[in-house]
Structure 1
Amino acid sequence: MSIWQTIFEVIDMRSFSNLWYWIALAVLWSTASHFVLGVPFDLAQKALKHGGERMQDLEDLVRINVNRLGNIAEISGLVIVAMASGGLTILFALGVFYDVEFAQAVFLMAFPMTIVFFLNIRTAKRILVNAPRGEALVDVLRRHRLKTQMIGMLFIFITAMWGMYQNIVTGPLGG
């Protein structure tokens, strides 16, 4: 048995039947909903509860991250859109037309995260324009987090349904 056969036997490349894929999906969405614009959401809740220096820290951290996201969008926005579009198109084509399960699995993680990334850019621009402070800023972060969680729930459901379909169609031994 070659080293590659051993590796592929240990690491099941059928993504939807692999426990590690589902763990990675859970960690991805948990992290995406916890870090709102790069700011831990518990920090926003503590700032709202205690105010004062904690609120100032939150405002500073949001300002830093919003300026960073705005700078990325302004300088590299077109390149990011082109590369993301190309990568997602390749994953979609491999997954749909060539029936590559790994590409399907990665697409079902990457596509919604792309939506969340553009939602981050949109919220960052809104914060830059309106400059909310205090409770208004926490409210913007809370609404952004809710939108991220809604996208996450929708795509976890879609991924679970597609994964179950793939597992039923391919069977326990992949074919």
Structure 2
Amino acid sequence: MRSFSSIWFWIMLATVWSMVSHHVLGVPYHMIAAARRQGGQAEQDLEDMVRINVLRRLRMVDQAGIWLLGLGCFMLTGLLILGWVYWIELAQALFLLGLPLGFVALLSLLTAKRIRAEGPQGEALFRHLHRHRVWVQSVAMAAIFVTTLWGMYRTLSVGVLGS
């Protein structure tokens, strides 16, 4: 249950944020780069894949969005209480992972809505996807930084105080 002193937690944290940063609205970034470089069929494939993922994401939100929001808030609130009222380190670690992922989900939803409304193609679509990736990477860097600071504090305070 000592999450912050476990190498597996840090490997999992790096893996999660690496995967979230690499997949822009469900589309692998190398596919975006290839479409931008090659154009033609690669660009058409990218536009189709983005359209499919945007529609899938928005349909899911239309059908079960309020339930997903309620469940997510319930889980984060539970982790917050378990982590900082009862001082359960595993709950703290999961909260510090889950809250920024919630922000990324919100960013993805907003980007998907914008793409559906504007229907960008070519360079305009690349700009939307690049902007979204930069925001996700910013959230990831901030989340890793905060988690690292809190993890060091908890590990050092438990080591010094023995509690």
TM class by shorter chain equals over 0.9
User: 2:138 aligned with 1:144, yes or no?
Assistant: no
Which whole-Å CA distance do the structure 2 matches of 1:172 and 1:20 have between them?
23
User: 2:53 aligned with 1:68, yes or no?
Assistant: no
TM superposition shift of 1:172: 7.9
Runs of 4+, deviation exceeding 3 Å: 172-175
User: 2:37 aligned with 1:37, yes or no?
Assistant: no
User: 2:72 aligned with 1:84, yes or no?
Assistant: yes
Deviations 1:47-93 (A, max 9, x none): 00000000000000000000001101111110011000000000000
Report the TM-score when normalising by structure 2. Answer: 0.98
Contact 1:14/1:174, CA 8 A, preserved across alignment = no
Q: Which residue of 1 aligns with 2:39?
A: 51
Gaps of 5+ in 2: none
Rg larger for: 1
Q: Which residue of 1 aligns with 2:12?
A: 24
Which whole-Å CA distance do the structure 2 matches of 1:63 and 1:53 have between them?
15
User: 2:93 aligned with 1:105, yes or no?
Assistant: yes
1:125 pairs, out of 113, 116, 141, with 113
Aligned length, in residue pairs = 163
User: CA 1:59 to 1:174, structure 2 compared with 1: closer, same or farther past 3 Å?
Assistant: farther
1:166 pairs, out of 144, 154, 158, with 154
Report the TM-score when normalising by structure 1. Answer: 0.91
Which whole-Å CA distance do the structure 2 matches of 1:158 and 1:89 have between them?
18
TM superposition shift of 1:135: 1.2
Structure 1 letter corresponding to 2:2: R
SS of 2:4 mapped into structure 1: helix
**Identity across matched positions, percent:** 46
TM superposition shift of 1:174: 5.7
Contact 1:91/1:103, CA 8 A, preserved across alignment = yes
Which whole-Å CA distance do the structure 2 matches of 1:148 and 1:32 have between them?
8
Calculate the aligned-residue CA RMSD, in Å: 1.2
Q: Which residue of 1 aligns with 2:103?
A: 115
TM superposition shift of 1:173: 10
